[in-house]
Amino acid sequence: MKKISQLLLALVASTAILPACATDSSSLMGMTRDQPLVVGSISLPDVSENGVSQNFFFKAEEGHLLTVFFGYTMCPDICPTSLSDFRSALRRLGDRAQKIDLAFVTVDPQRDTAEKLIPFLGSYATNFHAIRTSDASQLSLAQDAFLVRSSVTTDDSGHIQVTHTGTGFIVNSDGIVVSELPFGIGPDGMENDFNVLLNKIETGEMK
Whether pTM exceeds 0.75: yes
Residue 157 sits at φ, ψ, to 5 deg, of: -90, 0
- Residue 43: domain span: 2-20+27-203
Total domains in the chain come to: 1
The 10s digit of each residue's pLDDT in 68-111 is 999 999 999 999 999 999 999 999 999 999 999 999 999 999 99
pLDDT of residue 26: 83
- How many degrees, rounded to 5, is the angle at CA 142 between CA 136 and CA 144? 100
Residue 153 sits at φ, ψ, to 5 deg, of: -130, 160
CATH classification at residue 33: 3.40.30.10
Mean pLDDT on 111-133: 96
Strand partners, 56: 44
The 10s digit of each residue's pLDDT in 136-193 is 999 999 999 999 999 999 998 989 999 999 999 999 999 999 999 999 999 999 999 9
pLDDT of residue 25: 62
Is pLDDT at 1 greater than 80 in this prediction? no
Is pLDDT at 112 greater than 90 in this prediction? yes
Residue 207 confidence class, pLDDT cut points 50, 70, 90: confident
Residue 106 sits at φ, ψ, to 5 deg, of: -75, 135
Q: How many residues does the chain have?
A: 207
Residues with Cβ within 8 Å of residue 73, at least 6 apart in sequence: 79, 106, 108, 111, 112, 116, 117, 120
